[in-house]
Amino acid sequence: MSRPPAGAPWPTAATRLVVLLGWPARHSLSPQLHNAAFAEHGLDLVYLAAPTPPGSVAGVVTALGELGVVGANVTVPHKEVVVDSCAHLTEEAELIGAVNTLAWTTDGVLGENTDASGLKAALTAEVAVADGDRYVVLGTGGAARAAVVAIGRLGGELTVVGRRRHAAEELAGLGGRAGAVRVAAVDVADDAAVTEAVGGARIVMNATPLGMDGERLPEPFHHLTAGQVAYDLVYDPPLTPFLASARQAGVPGHHGLGMLVAQAAVSYRMWTGIEAPMGVLSAVAAAALSERARHA
C-alpha cells in the first residue's frame, strides 16, 4: 500500500480509493484531512468526495465493493439508511443506530460510528470533563444521537431539548443506555423548562445545523453565565451566533472541529491499521477552516 518513490508519477493504476458518501458532500474537510494523513505515512491511497443522491446509497455501496475500495465515510442524509448495506455493525454503530464509516472486509461491509468516540475524545481534551457533569443537548437528529452516547460514555447527567418530545425522550433513553445518569427530556416550546435546564448545565451543546447560516438557537442558549461551557458541533463557520453570545458573556466556547479530527482518526485507524498523525490532521483542519473564513 506504499506510494511510489518521491518524484514518481502518482496516483497510479494501483492507487486505492477511500470516499465520502453524502448529499451534498463538496463542503467537507475530510478529503483534505485524510489525504494529508495518507501522504504523511506514504500510503498509496486517495480520498475523494462522492456526492450520492438520496435513494442511491445502497447501489453505490455495492458498486464501491466491486471496485475494491478500502473504505468510506458516510454523512447526511445517509447515516441511518446505510445500515442496511452493512453485513456487520460494531457495537457502537448498533447502539447509535447510524453508521458514518464503512470498511470492506473479507466478511463483507463493516459499519462503524466514530462520531461518539470522536466527540468523547474532543470533550475530554477541550473541556476537562468529569463524572457527573451536567449536559444539555439541543437536537434529536443523527448528530444528537452520537452526542448523547458520548455523554453517556462520560458518565454525565443529560437533558435533551427537542422540537418533538417523543424524539427527545428516545434520545435521553439512548444516553441512559450508554451510561448517562439522571436523564431527562424537554420540549423546546416550554420556555421555562428550557431556561431551567440550560441554566443548570455545565456544558451546553448544540447538536443541530442551526448556526451554519447565521440562525440563533432558542433564546436561553444565548444567555450562558460564568462556570458554563458552550459547545457547538457546527464547525463552519467557526463562530456561530451561539458561540458569539457565549464569547460576549465571557463563557468559553468550542466548535466541532475537534470532534471532526478525533472521529477522522478513528476512521483512519480502521482503514489502515495505523494510528493517525494527529498533529497533521489538526494542522490541516485548522488551516482549511481559517482559509474558508478568510474567503467567506
Around Cβ 126, how many Cβ atoms within 10 Å?
A: 16
Around Cβ 42, how many Cβ atoms within 10 Å?
A: 12
Confirm whether 120 is a catalytic residue: no
**Beta pairing, strands 71-74 & 229-232:** unpaired
| CB-based contact 104:51 (threshold 8 Å) | no
Strands (E), the chain: 16-22, 45-51, 71-74, 88-89, 101-105, 108-112, 134-138, 157-162, 181-187, 203-206, 229-232, 253-254
One of 34, 78, 79, 134 is an active-site residue; which one? Answer: 79
Residue 281: which region, alpha, beta or left (left: phi > 0; alpha: psi -120 to 50)?
alpha
Q: Which three cell numbers stand for residue 147?
A: 452526542
In 210-231, which positions are buried (b, 16+ CB within 10 angstroms) versus exposed (e)? bbeeeeebbebbbebeeebbbb
| Alpha carbon distance 135, 151 (integer Å) | 8
What Å distances lie between residue 145 and 64, 70, 148, 171, 220, CA to CA?
Answer: 27, 27, 5, 6, 22
Q: What is the largest CA-CA distance in the chain?
A: 65
Q: Known catalytic residues? A: 79
